[in-house]
Structure 1
Amino acid sequence: MDDLHAQLKDLEERLFEPAVRGSRQMLVELLSADFREIGSSGRLFDLADVLTELAADPENIASRTLEDFDARLLSQGIALVTYRASRASPDKATVRTLRSSIWRLEADGKWRMLFHQGTLTR
């Protein structure tokens, strides 16, 4: 489980990188074809929405960090991760969120995010 914990943490952190967030190709490698997200805004996104919106997101330059990372297997090939994230932009207040993701080991042997949710915190 320690290897899986480290692998999923690495995958989550890759999604914080501006180069990944701005690349459709890199996002497709990390997100499942049937990906869904409930953003901290309360809006529901699918993969097509994320591919379009992240490329144009001005917050891609923001510094993102995660802490209190936890990963748990829900069943064979399905894992839940939870953590706290902070997003700091040069000209805006730091945004803190509680995040959860469901990762699935897909047929090609790669872990891809199936679901993600962000909830604003104080």
Structure 2
Amino acid sequence: MDDLQAHLKDLEERLFDPTVRGSRQMLVELLSAEFREIGSSGRLVDLEDVLTGLPADPENIASRTLGDFHALLLSDGIALVTYRATRASPGKPTVRTLRSSIWRLEADGKWRMIFHQGTLMR
């Protein structure tokens, strides 16, 4: 399980990388075709929303870090990860969120995120 936890943490951190966030092709490698997200704004988005909106997001330049990472294998090929994330943008207040993601081992042998939720911390 330690190897899987390290692998899933690496995948989550890739999604923090501005290069990945700006690349439709790199995002497709990490997100399932069935992907859904409930953002910290409360908005529900699907894969196409992310592939269209994320590369153009001006917050892609923000510095993002994660901590308190934990992975739990729910069943063969399905894992839940939870963590705290911090986003720092020049000239803006730091944003802290609680995050959860469900990752699925897909037929091609790659783990892809199928669901994500972010909740603002007050």
Report TM bin, short chain.
Answer: over 0.9
Unmatched tracts of structure 1, length 5 or more: none
- State the SS of the aligned residue for 1:91: coil
> 1:91 Cα shift?
1.1
Matched with 2:26 is 26
Aligned length: 122
**Residues 29-83 of structure 1: CA distance to partner in whole angstroms, max 9, x if unpaired?**
0000000000000000000000011011000000000000000000000000000
Task: Give the letter aligned to residue 89 of structure 2.
Answer: S
Task: Give the letter aligned to residue 65 of structure 2.
Answer: T
The TM-score, its normalising length taken from structure 1, stands at: 0.99
Unmatched tracts of structure 2, length 5 or more: none
- Alignment partner of 1:101 is 2:92: no
Task: Give the letter aligned to residue 28 of structure 1.
Answer: V
Deviant stretches of 4+, over 4 Å: none
Matched with 2:71 is 71
Matched with 2:92 is 92
Task: Give the letter aligned to residue 10 of structure 2.
Answer: D
- State the SS of the aligned residue for 1:42: coil
The TM-score, its normalising length taken from structure 2, stands at: 0.99
Q: Distance in 2 between matches of 1:70 and 1:76?
A: 17
